[in-house]
């Protein structure tokens, strides 16, 4: 594929911007014309464009990594910013909404060429496809090679895919809370989530933008996902068998009227919260992209695939993660050429620890970015 390199004025900081990156021939055979990528930046690109860092968001994240011109806190608020481990006084930090998303990039709710939302017609987009689109944005920003690409969970998968697809363009790569490929179990959990949405009567094959929306299905998908993001110990310690007072799980007379346990109320809340900020089709599109995660696809065995990259790697895992097991991160690190430490994030919470344990992760990352 030929990419036109266009040097543009460096955009202002902390405001979502939009770049048109052209049409995408997709790995699975489809075509997505006129792709738009939403992105935010922080800091200043230096004269030789050698200080650029790409932060890739996880499944339901947005471009808003940290506050910029606005005061709205980001999802890695203490990790990036002035003086932070990803120091925006030193680095030009970029974050891009994934293709298929609902935070500004082209996704199922975007207008197709006929003006109606893509809906059921939105093509299957893999993480590799998104990386190709992001490389075009990097070209437009004048970034030939990233000082570092980093992310957690799906963000880590995107970072790893960057390092392998464009080895000459990634100098450091931080792969946090994810392995080299989505495992059978991760695909299985993902399928239960996408089916929860697809089986909502309001889903209508994905063509629901006139409303009503498949909110029940999306909320159920989030409940399933959220259980996998938290450890059994965290749920037990936090909620145990407590009722959601004044409700009582053993009162109400009939099954349909019984009160909830606290943990049920908590999951209801998590589901409803996502419904208020996320599009159901995007949830499916991005989840399927994550299912596609496999850096070896079409490339060969893991060590050979990883050897394509000359990047310095940082691999980290949350010790209590029951979705992306630390063993999968160790397996990735063992297959990388040279010595690679697996940094352990000690957190009882489970997978979401990569979002909540910023202190530990920040110290480890600061050292990696300073070396």
Ligand X SMILES: CC(=O)SCCNC(=O)CCNC(=O)[C@H](O)C(C)(C)COP(=O)(O)OP(=O)(O)OC[C@H]1O[C@@H](n2cnc3c(N)ncnc32)[C@H](O)[C@@H]1OP(=O)(O)O
Ligand Y SMILES: N[C@@H](CCO)C(=O)O
* Residues making contact with ligand Y (CB under 6 A): 58-61, 153, 229, 352
Select the residue interacting with ligand X from 13, 144, 198, 269 (CB under 6 A).
269
- Distance separating alpha carbons of residues 314 and 147, to the nearest angstrom: 13
C-alpha dist (Å) from residue 193 to 61, 72, 196:
17, 29, 5
Angle at 300 between CA 295 and CA 305, to 5 degrees: 55
Is residue 321 annotated as a catalytic residue, yes or no?
yes
CB of 75 to ligand X, least distance (A): 3
Select the residue interacting with ligand X from 14, 43, 61, 104 (CB under 6 A).
61
143 or 275: whose CB is closer to ligand Y?
Answer: 275
- Distance separating alpha carbons of residues 260 and 287, to the nearest angstrom: 29
C-alpha dist (Å) from residue 222 to 176, 230, 259, 278, 344:
21, 12, 21, 10, 26
Helix axes 184-198, 215-229, angle to 10 degrees: 160
Is residue 269 annotated as a catalytic residue, yes or no?
no
CB of 241 to ligand X, least distance (A): 13
Kindly name the residue from 62, 105, 110, 153 that is annotated as catalytic: 153
Q: Among ligand Y, ligand X, none, what does residue 95 contact (CB within 5–8 Å per kind)?
A: none
101 or 108: whose CB is closer to ligand Y?
Answer: 101
49 or 55: whose CB is closer to ligand X?
Answer: 55
Candidates 116-124, 161-169, 293-301, 352-360: pick the segment binding ligand X (CB under 6 A).
352-360
Kindly name the residue from 62, 293, 321, 329 that is annotated as catalytic: 321
The reply to whether 273 sits near ligand X by the rule CB under 6 A is yes
269 or 299: whose CB is closer to ligand X?
Answer: 269
CB of 355 to ligand X, least distance (A): 4
Nearest CA among 125, 131, 134 for reference residue 30: 125
Q: Among ligand Y, ligand X, none, what does residue 297 contact (CB within 5–8 Å per kind)?
A: none
Candidates 59-67, 150-158, 181-189, 324-332: pick the segment binding ligand X (CB under 6 A).
59-67
Is residue 309 annotated as a catalytic residue, yes or no?
no
Helix axes 280-291, 154-165, angle to 10 degrees: 50
CB of 76 to ligand Y, least distance (A): 11
Give the per-residue contact string, 277-306, with ligand X (x = CB under 6 A; - = no). x-----------------------------
143 or 219: whose CB is closer to ligand X?
Answer: 219
- Distance separating alpha carbons of residues 333 and 339, to the nearest angstrom: 8
Helix H or strand E encompassing 78: none
Enumerate the known binding-site residues for substrate: 222, 352
Select the residue interacting with ligand X from 50, 78, 183, 265 (CB under 6 A).
265
Helix runs in 126-231, H state only: 127-141, 154-165, 184-198, 215-229
- Distance separating alpha carbons of residues 15 and 297, to the nearest angstrom: 36
- Distance separating alpha carbons of residues 297 and 341, to the nearest angstrom: 25
- Distance separating alpha carbons of residues 346 and 318, to the nearest angstrom: 6
Cβ atoms < 10 Å from Cβ of 18: 12
CB of 64 to ligand Y, least distance (A): 12
Angle at 180 between CA 178 and CA 186, to 5 degrees: 60
Rg (CA), the chain: 21
Kindly name the residue from 226, 343, 351, 368 that is annotated as catalytic: 351
CB of 325 to ligand X, least distance (A): 18
14 or 271: whose CB is closer to ligand Y?
Answer: 271
Q: Among ligand X, ligand Y, none, what does residue 153 contact (CB within 5–8 Å per kind)?
A: ligand Y
Q: Among ligand Y, ligand X, none, what does residue 51 contact (CB within 5–8 Å per kind)?
A: none
Enumerate the known binding-site residues: 222, 352
Q: Are 11 and 17 in contact (CB under 8 A)?
A: yes
* Interface ranges with ligand X (CB under 6 A): 60-62, 64, 75, 244, 262, 265-266, 269-270, 273, 277, 352, 355-356
Catalytic residues: 153, 321, 351
């Amino acid at each position: 594929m030929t990419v036109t390199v266009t040097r543009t004025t460096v955009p202002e900081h902390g405001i979502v911007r939009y770049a048109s990156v052209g049409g995408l021939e997709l790995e699975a055979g489809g075509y997505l014309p006129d792709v738009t990528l939403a992105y935010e930046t922080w800091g200043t690109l230096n004269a030789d464009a050698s200080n650029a860092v790409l932060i890739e968001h996880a499944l339901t994240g947005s471009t808003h990594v940290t506050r910029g011109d606005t005061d709205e806190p980001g999802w890695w608020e203490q990790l990036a910013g002035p003086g932070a481990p990803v120091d925006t006084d030193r680095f030009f930090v970029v974050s891009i909404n994934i293709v298929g998303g609902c935070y500004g990039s082209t996704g199922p709710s975007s207008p197709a060429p006929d003006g109606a939302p893509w809906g059921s017609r939105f093509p299957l987009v893999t993480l590799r496809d998104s990386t190709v689109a992001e490389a075009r944005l990097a070209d437009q920003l004048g970034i030939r090679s990233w000082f570092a690409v980093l992310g957690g969970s799906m963000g880590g998968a995107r970072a790893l895919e960057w390092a392998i697809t464009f080895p000459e363009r990634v100098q450091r790569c931080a792969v946090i809370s994810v392995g080299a490929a989505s495992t059978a179990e991760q695909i299985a959990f993902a399928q239960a989530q996408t089916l929860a949405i697809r089986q909502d009567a309001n889903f209508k094959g994905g063509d629901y933008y006139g409303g009503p929306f498949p909110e029940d299905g999306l909320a159920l998908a989030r409940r399933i996902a959220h259980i996998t993001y938290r450890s059994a110990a965290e749920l037990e310690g936090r909620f145990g068998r407590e009722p959601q007072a004044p409700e009582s799980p053993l009162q109400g007379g009939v099954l349909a009227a019984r009160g909830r346990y606290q943990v049920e109320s908590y999951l209801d809340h998590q589901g409803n919260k996502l419904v208020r900020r996320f599009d159901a089709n995007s949830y499916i599109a991005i989840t399927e992209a994550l299912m596609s995660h496999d850096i070896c696809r079409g490339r060969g065995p893991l060590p050979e695939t990883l050897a394509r990259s000359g990047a310095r790697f940082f691999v980290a895992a949350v010790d209590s993660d029951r979705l992306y097991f630390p063993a999968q991160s160790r397996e990735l690190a063992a297959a990388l050429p040279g010595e690679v430490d697996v940094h352990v994030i000690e957190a009882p919470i489970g997978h979401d620890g990569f979002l909540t344990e910023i202190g530990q992760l920040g110290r480890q990352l600061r050292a990696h970015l300073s070396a």
